[in-house]
């Protein structure tokens, strides 16, 4: 894989291009040669300290939001959190390991419907099947179920790569849609099924009101904290994976599969394992999405959703956890904001009035954003933030 | 038995159409090593232009304009986007084409809305009956046209200097460039050809028995991806065989749906993907794809 910082504008294929790429290569290695040790140390401390500062400043705001913001924004924020969890999973697979997946929506669906089936009570005539498990157990099992689904696919996920894997995973989307529309007993068919509310330690996360500090807490307010907690946990875990041994192995597989194999990285096993991990992330994202929507419909988990997740990780910055979160916020909140302010924005008209709807505008925007980000900002939006700071090598190393 | 033969003929015909799409896909892949996920929206764009113009300028002229329009669009994508990324990682390039696809698809679905555009083709809903086996005229036309176009391209690959240049680039881009082949032109022409082929395919995907061009047509085009993968992404023969396999499978699965009710409704749409997965399990590079050999 070519270094994203390489100014390889020439094709590298013509005679002069080959010379140019040689020059470019020396250009990369030359500058850091002198101050490298100092720069190295600074990267270890700098961004993490800065990030800690951001986190310290941001978390009280995030924690206080449910007291001040109305349901619309909380729901939008929760959707963004769920998307962020899913996007972190996809960035582990596509960004860090270089395995293109178009099937992410399938695993989201497994998580969402898995939770419904496991936690639903399944009583009443015509109701879809439910096992009636306690809802916390259903969450855990739904995530494991998504992992198992990923594992079942591992004979393919472990052996294919690049476009072959991308299109093979496309099959998952269609299989998923087929099952969701046809297995009425499990999924409720076209209309989907209601999502049983989460209940934890006697606290039920539904619309029954609990008043906290004179603020009525409904489902969104309560779920907000669940979402924050899950997202923080997922992000930390993914960061640990990326920084540790498995992360090195994953990057090695992405950058040079054969060299990685020669150095003793079990390539197929790692690919399959990352695929399973990424599916579990997607499963958890699916559960959270289901809890926020309170109704799961099969149409949602289609091809477009997979494309959205790819858009998130590319826009945010491939292979970076922060990037996945930023990209998820961008792609999820954009249509919501455009919808909310469609009256005051030029060129955007409310849905159903015949003009360009907010959903379409946001699709133009993030479609174009993918192209522009890869062209002008190979590290994604995260890179933009890092570039303003004094140290950027750490981020620049992750394409 | 009659049903079986009918389904088989229908399948071969629709398979030839898939082969057209897959051929465009493979041509782009060989010339630029880019997996073109924007192919489905190129197809929809060509079909849309044809369907909109046919009332004003007649079917044939509209088809010509549609083919030219999609070819131009393909060339534009190559010139404005893909060319800027030459030398980058190919999986990132694939994602770039996904970005292009999102934009094009959003615009086209907005324009098409919930309308269905009939193609106004000369074949109408006529049916050809031979010895008890009846096949719609459109299917016959699709098979013949697709067959002719594919044959023409295979010959062009063998005989013309364009074909030789394309094959040389597919073999080894740097050496080809050193031999004086202009990579830019080869990839530009590949994208244009892909657009043109996709438009012809769009025509035959939307004529009788389907009602016409609609938003969902691009989903039908997605079935050509398994066709290309099944045959092997870098093999034109693979694209043909893959297309036919997918077409016949889909036709048979749809035709015998009533015997396969335990699999649920709409199994015909799923069958191509299942076949692809089965083939990939056995041959990860597809049926005719080159197995990657690496020297370390």
- ipTM score here? 0.85
pLDDT at A157: 80
Q: Say which of A156, A178, A364 has its CB closest to residue B106.
A: A364
Residue A15 located in a structural domain? no
pLDDT at A73: 85
Residue B62 located in a structural domain? yes
Distance from the Cα of B133 to chain A's closest Cα (Å) equals 31
Q: Say which of B103, B269, B280 has its CB closest to residue A367.
A: B103
Q: Note the pLDDT tens digit of each residue in A95-146.
A: 888 888 888 999 999 999 999 888 877 665 566 777 777 888 889 999 999 9
Contact A367 B110 (CB under 8 A): no
Distance from the Cα of B87 to chain A's closest Cα (Å) equals 6
Residue B245 located in a structural domain? no
pLDDT at A209: 66
A215 phi and psi, to 5 degrees? -110, 125
pLDDT at B85: 75
Q: Which residues of A touch B111 (CB under 8 A)?
A: none
- Overall number of domains in chain B: 1
Query: Sign of the C-alpha dihedral, residues B31, B32, B35, B36?
Result: negative
Contact B177 A11 (CB under 8 A): yes
Contact B95 A374 (CB under 8 A): yes
pLDDT-derived band at B218, boundaries 50, 70, 90 = confident
pLDDT at A24: 38
Q: Which residues of B touch A21 (CB under 8 A)?
A: 87
Contact B273 A262 (CB under 8 A): no
pLDDT at B113: 83
Using an 8 Å Cβ cutoff, are A294 and A287 in contact?
no
Contact B35 A163 (CB under 8 A): yes
Q: Note the pLDDT tens digit of each residue in A329-346.
A: 988 988 888 888 777 776
pLDDT at A32: 39
pLDDT-derived band at A387, boundaries 50, 70, 90 = low
Q: Note the pLDDT tens digit of each residue in A50-63.
A: 667 776 777 777 77
Q: Say which of A8, A155, A367 has its CB closest to residue B99.
A: A367
What is the tally of helices (H) and strands (E) in chain A? 17, 6
Residue B294 located in a structural domain? no
Q: To the nearest whole percent, how much of chain A has pLDDT over 70?
A: 75
Residue B20 located in a structural domain? yes
- Overall number of domains in chain A: 1
Q: Note the pLDDT tens digit of each residue in B47-97.
A: 999 989 988 888 889 999 999 999 999 999 999 888 887 767 777 788 888
Q: Note the pLDDT tens digit of each residue in A274-285.
A: 999 999 999 999
Q: Say which of B173, B276, B281 has its CB closest to residue A13.
A: B173
pLDDT-derived band at B189, boundaries 50, 70, 90 = very high
Contact A8 B87 (CB under 8 A): yes
Residue of B nearest to A94 (CA): B91
Q: Which residues of B touch A162 (CB under 8 A)?
A: 35, 90-91, 94
pLDDT at residue A390 tops 60: no
Instruction: Return the top range by mean pLDDT from A205-219, A377-391, B120-134.
Output: B120-134
Contact B100 A159 (CB under 8 A): no
Residue of B nearest to A318 (CA): B92
pLDDT at A58: 72
DSSP 3-state assignment of A210?
A: strand
- Report how many Cβ contacts below 8 Å link chain A to chain B: 162
Whole-angstrom distance, CA of residue A270 vs CA of residue A274: 6
Q: Which of B61, B12, B66 is nearest to B202 (CA)?
A: B66
Q: Note the pLDDT tens digit of each residue in A227-236.
A: 898 999 999 9
pLDDT at residue A202 tops 70: no
Burial of B79 (0-12, 13-18, 19+ CB in 10 A): middle
- Residue-wise DSSP of B115-128: --B----TTTT-EE
pLDDT at A337: 84
pLDDT at residue A398 tops 50: no
pLDDT at residue A193 tops 70: yes
Q: Looking at residue A359, which CATH number applies to its domain?
A: 1.10.3470
pLDDT at A46: 54
pLDDT at residue A391 tops 50: no
Q: To the nearest whole percent, how much of chain A has pLDDT over 90?
A: 18
B281 touching A (Cβ < 8 Å): yes
pLDDT at B295: 64
Q: Say which of A164, A171, A367 has its CB closest to residue B284.
A: A164
Mean pLDDT of A315-332: 89
Q: To the nearest whole percent, how much of chain B has pLDDT over 70?
A: 97
Mean pLDDT of A180-189: 79
Q: Which of B169, B136, B137, B167 is nearest to B153 (CA)?
A: B167
Mean pLDDT of B168-196: 90
Q: Note the pLDDT tens digit of each residue in A73-88.
A: 888 899 999 999 999 9
Contact B87 A171 (CB under 8 A): no
Write down the H helix ranges in B89-171: 90-112, 137-159, 161-171
pLDDT at residue A28 tops 50: no
Contact B94 A307 (CB under 8 A): no
Query: Sign of the C-alpha dihedral, residues A217, A219, A221, A224?
Result: positive
pLDDT-derived band at A349, boundaries 50, 70, 90 = low
Calculated CA dihedral for residues B65, B71, B73, B78, nearest 10 degrees: -170
pLDDT at residue A171 tops 80: yes
- Show the domain range for B192: 2-214
Using an 8 Å Cβ cutoff, are B70 and B42 in contact?
yes
pLDDT-derived band at A30, boundaries 50, 70, 90 = very low
Mean pLDDT of A161-166: 79
Cβ neighbours of residue A375 closer than 8 Å, sequence gap 6 or more: B81, B84, B85, B96
The answer to which of A25-39, A199-213, A214-228 has the lowest mean pLDDT is: A25-39
Residue of B nearest to A171 (CA): B273
Contact A163 B233 (CB under 8 A): yes
B82 touching A (Cβ < 8 Å): no
Q: Say which of B29, B102, B284 has its CB closest to residue A367.
A: B102
To probe the interface with A, which of B82, B99, B218 has the most A CB atoms within 10 Å? B99
pLDDT at residue A286 tops 80: yes
Whole-angstrom distance, CA of residue A286 vs CA of residue A83: 9
Using an 8 Å Cβ cutoff, are A161 and A98 in contact?
yes
Q: Note the pLDDT tens digit of each residue in B224-268.
A: 888 888 888 888 888 889 999 999 998 888 888 777 777 777 777
CA atoms within 13 A of residue A272's CA, in its CB half-sphere:
14
**Parallel, antiparallel, or unpaired for β A210-212 and A203-204?**
unpaired
Q: Which residues of B touch A171 (CB under 8 A)?
A: 226, 273-274, 276-277
Contact A367 B229 (CB under 8 A): no
Mean pLDDT of A177-196: 80
Residue bearing the bigger pLDDT, B140 or A208: B140
Residue B34 located in a structural domain? yes
Contact A11 B86 (CB under 8 A): yes
Residue of A nearest to B81 (CA): A371
Q: Say which of A2, A163, A310 has its CB closest to residue B89.
A: A2
To probe the interface with A, which of B26, B90, B98, B100 has the most A CB atoms within 10 Å? B98
Mean pLDDT of A256-279: 89
pLDDT-derived band at A268, boundaries 50, 70, 90 = confident
**Average pLDDT along chain B:** 86
**Average pLDDT along chain A:** 77
pLDDT at residue B182 tops 70: yes
Residue B51 located in a structural domain? yes
Whole-angstrom distance, CA of residue A50 vs CA of residue B268: 55
**Parallel, antiparallel, or unpaired for β B127-130 and A199-200?**
unpaired
DSSP letter, residue A203: E
To probe the interface with B, which of A9, A93, A174, A363 has the most B CB atoms within 10 Å? A174
CA distances in angstroms from B215 to A48, B41, B47, B251, listed in the order given: 47, 10, 11, 22
Q: Which residues of A touch B219 (CB under 8 A)?
A: 303
DSSP letter, residue B18: H
- Show the domain range for A110: 40-396
The answer to which of A120-124, A130-134, A151-155, A190-194 has the lowest mean pLDDT is: A120-124
pLDDT at residue B35 tops 50: yes
């Amino acid at each position: 894989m070519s270094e994203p910082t390489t100014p390889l504008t020439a094709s590298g294929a013509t005679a002069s291009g080959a010379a140019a790429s040689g020059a470019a290569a020396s250009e990369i290695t030359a500058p850091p040669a002198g101050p490298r040790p100092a720069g190295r140390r600074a990267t270890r401390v700098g961004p993490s300290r800065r990030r800690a500062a951001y986190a310290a400043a941001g978390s009280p705001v995030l924690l206080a939001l449910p007291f001040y913001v109305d349901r619309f924004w909380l729901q939008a924020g929760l959707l963004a959190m769920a998307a962020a969890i899913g996007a972190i999973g996809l960035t582990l697979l596509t960004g860090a390991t270089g395995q293109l997946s178009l099937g992410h929506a399938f695993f989201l669906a497994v998580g969402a419907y898995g939770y419904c089936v496991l936690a639903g009570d399944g009583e009443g005539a015509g109701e879809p099947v439910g096992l009636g498990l306690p809802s916390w157990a259903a969450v855990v099992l739904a995530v494991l179920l998504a992992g198992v689904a990923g594992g079942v696919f591992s004979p393919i996920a472990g052996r294919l790569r690049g476009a072959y894997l991308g299109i093979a995973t496309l099959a998952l989307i269609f299989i998923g849609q087929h099952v969701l529309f046809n297995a009425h007993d499990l999924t409720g068919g076209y209309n989907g099924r209601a999502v049983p509310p989460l209940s934890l330690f006697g606290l039920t996360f539904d619309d029954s009101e609990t008043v906290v500090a004179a603020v009525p807490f409904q489902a969104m307010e309560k779920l907000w904290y669940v979402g924050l907690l899950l997202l923080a946990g997922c992000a930390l875990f993914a960061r640990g994976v990326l920084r540790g041994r498995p992360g090195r192995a994953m990057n090695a597989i992405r950058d040079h599969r054969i060299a990685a194999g020669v150095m003793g990285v079990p390539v197929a096993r790692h690919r399959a394992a990352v695929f399973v991990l990424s599916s579990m992330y997607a499963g958890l994202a699916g559960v959270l999405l289901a809890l926020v929507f309170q109704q799961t419909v099969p149409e949602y988990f289609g091809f477009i959703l997979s494309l959205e997740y790819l858009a998130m990780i590319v826009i945010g910055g491939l292979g970076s956890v922060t990037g996945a979160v930023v990209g998820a916020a961008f792609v999820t909140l954009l249509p919501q904001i455009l919808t909310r302010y469609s009256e005051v924005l030029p060129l955007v008209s409310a849905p159903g009035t015949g003009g360009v709807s907010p959903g379409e505008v946001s699709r133009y925007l993030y479609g174009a954003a993918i192209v522009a980000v890869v062209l002008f900002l190979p590290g994604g939006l995260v890179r933009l933030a890092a570039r303003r700071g004094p140290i950027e090598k750490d981020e620049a190393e992750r394409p | 038995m009659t049903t079986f033969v009918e389904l088989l003929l229908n399948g071969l015909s629709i398979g030839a159409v898939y082969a057209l799409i897959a051929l465009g896909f493979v041509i782009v892949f060989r010339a630029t090593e880019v997996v073109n996920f924007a192919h489905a929206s190129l197809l929809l764009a060509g079909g849309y232009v044809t369907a909109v113009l046919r009332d004003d300028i007649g079917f044939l002229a509209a088809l010509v304009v549609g083919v030219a329009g999609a070819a131009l669009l393909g060339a534009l994508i190559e010139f404005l986007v893909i060319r800027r990324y030459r030398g980058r990682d190919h999986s990132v390039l694939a994602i770039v084409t996904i970005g292009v696809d999102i934009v094009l698809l959003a615009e086209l679905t907005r324009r098409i809305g919930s309308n269905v555009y009939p193609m106004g083709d000369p074949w109408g809903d006529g049916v050809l009956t031979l010895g008890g086996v009846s096949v719609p005229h459109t299917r016959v036309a699709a098979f013949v046209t697709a067959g002719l176009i594919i044959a023409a391209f295979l010959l062009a690959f063998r005989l013309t200097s364009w074909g030789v240049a394309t094959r040389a680039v597919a073999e080894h881009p740097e050496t080809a460039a050193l031999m004086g082949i202009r990579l830019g032109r080869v990839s530009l022409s590949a994208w244009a050809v892909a657009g043109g082929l996709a438009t012809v395919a769009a025509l035959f995907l939307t004529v009788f028995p389907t009602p016409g061009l609609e938003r969902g047509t691009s989903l039908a085009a997605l079935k050509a991806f398994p066709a290309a993968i099944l045959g092997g992404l870098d093999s034109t023969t693979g694209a043909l065989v893959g297309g036919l396999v997918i077409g016949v499978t889909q036709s048979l699965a749809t035709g015998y749906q009533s015997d396969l009710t335990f699999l649920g409704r709409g199994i015909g749409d799923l069958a191509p993907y299942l076949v692809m997965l089965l083939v990939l399990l056995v041959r990860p590079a597809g049926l005719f794809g080159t197995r990657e050999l690496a020297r370390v």
